[in-house]
Amino acid sequence: MVRKMVFVFVIGLMLNACHKDIPDPEVKKEISIEPMHTIRAENDVVVLGMKPDQSFTVQHHVKENNVYVECFIPDISFSNRNTRLIVSVDGKQKKVVTTAAFIIKGLSTGSHQIDLQVVENNLKRDDMKRNFEVLIP
């Protein structure tokens, strides 16, 4: 009786562990933007604002067909959920992000114009716009 119970228990464990959990392939054709942790790179591009006390600094790094973006905006916090960044690629709005660092994935080969605009309390900040160009090899 004990052997049967152990056998049923072992079979139950094996069946529970053998389910189909196959990851999705990463061959997406559309651009995706994902939040990320802060990164540093040697070839970062810095874009400074008009006023030194309100500088909006953007650093980016290209790796394969992905662009890692990090923004530094004094006196603006993304933790309060009232601040967002509108991300546009080649003039088309792609996503609204709620983090200062994110990844733009799946860009095609060639040159791309990236535009960023800060939105606070549902109002676009015209003084908080930045753009830069990336070249995907």
| 56/60 Cα distance (integer angstroms) | 13
DSSP 22-43: PPPPS---S-EEEE------TT
**pLDDT by residue, tens only, the chain of 137 residues:** 778 777 777 777 666 665 566 665 555 556 666 665 544 444 444 444 444 445 788 999 999 899 999 988 887 887 777 889 999 999 998 889 988 899 999 899 999 999 999 988 888 888 888 999 999 98
Is there a contact between 29 and 106 (Cβ–Cβ < 8 Å)? yes
Cβ contact 69:62 at 8 Å: no
Residue type at 111?
Answer: S
Q: Which residues on adjacent β-strands are paired with residue 101?
A: 70
User: What domains sit in the chain, N to C, each tagged with a CATH number?
Assistant: 24-136 (2.60.40.10)
Total-model pTM: 0.61
